[in-house]
Chains A and B, each alone.
Chain A
Amino acid sequence: EVSLVESGGGLVQPGGSLRLSCEVSGLIFSRYWMYWVRQAPGKGLAWAARISGDGSATTYADSVKGRFTISRDNTKNMVYLQMNSLRGDDTALYYCVRERPGRGVALDYWGQGTLVTVSS
C-alpha cells in the first residue's frame, strides 16, 4: 500500500524558514516525479514545486521561486521542501504528492498534509 506522510509544519514568523519532509513507502520511489501542492485555509489547490525521480530536475511556481527548494533522498524514500523568507500568503496545508506516470500530468497519491502557519 502506498503511503505518503508529511511532517515539519508549524508556526513560523514572517521572514523565517521551515523544512518540510515527506516519507514515502509502498512504491519504487526513485521512478516517480514528486510534488508539493499547497492549499490555503478555505481556498483551492496551488502547485508549489516538483522534482524528477533522480532529483536532477526541479520546477517551481513563480510564487515560490527563489525562496523554496525541493530535494529528495532516494536512499531514504524522502522528499523535502526547504522554505525560506516565508510570508503570510505561504500559510497553507502542504501536501506531498506523487505524479502518476503517463502522457498527462496527474497526481494520484496524496499525503494527509502538514500545516504551515506564517504569523507574528
Chain B
Amino acid sequence: SYELTQPPSVSVSPGQTASITCSGHKLGEKYISWYQQKPGLSPVLVIYEDTKRPSGIPERFSGSNSGNTAALNITETQAMDEADYFCQTWDTNTMIFGGGTRLSVL
C-alpha cells in the first residue's frame, strides 16, 4: 500500500523559513494537499493541488511537489505557525495521510 513519510518534528527560529517534507513513491505524479492542525482544533487546509492556497491562507505558505518529494514552505515563520502539519494524497481509491510533522517555532 502507498505510504507518505514526514519527519516527526521540525524546528525553526521566528522570522526564518520552515520546510516540511513529505515523501512517497513517484509522489510528483499525484496531487498533494497540506493541513495545519493546532492543539484542540480541527485541521485547516493550507495547500491543495500541490501549490495552491485556499482563500484566507497567508502568502507565506507555499508548496511544491516533484519526483518523490513534496514540501510545504513557510516563510517569515511566526509563533502562530506552531502546529502539526499533515500531507495527504489519493492513490488507488484510498486517501492517504502522512504521519504528521510538529513544527516548533523556537
Contact = CB atoms under 8 A, between A and B. Distances in A.
A59 interface: yes
B106 interface: no
B14 to A, nearest CB: 26
A106 B97 contact: no
Main secondary structure, interface of A, reads: strand
Contacts of A107: 33, 35, 43, 45, 88
Given A104-B49, A106-B33, A44 B95 contact: no
B48 A112 contact: no
Interface stretch (A21-29, A45-53, A84-92): A45-53
Interface in A66-120: 95, 100, 102-108, 110-113
Given A105-B95, A108-B48, A45 B54 contact: no
Contact of A100 (B48, B50, B94, B98): B48
B90 interface: yes
B28 interface: no
Interface in B29-83: 30-33, 35, 37, 42-45, 48-50, 54
Interface of B: 1, 30-33, 35, 37, 42-45, 48-50, 54, 86, 88-90, 93-100
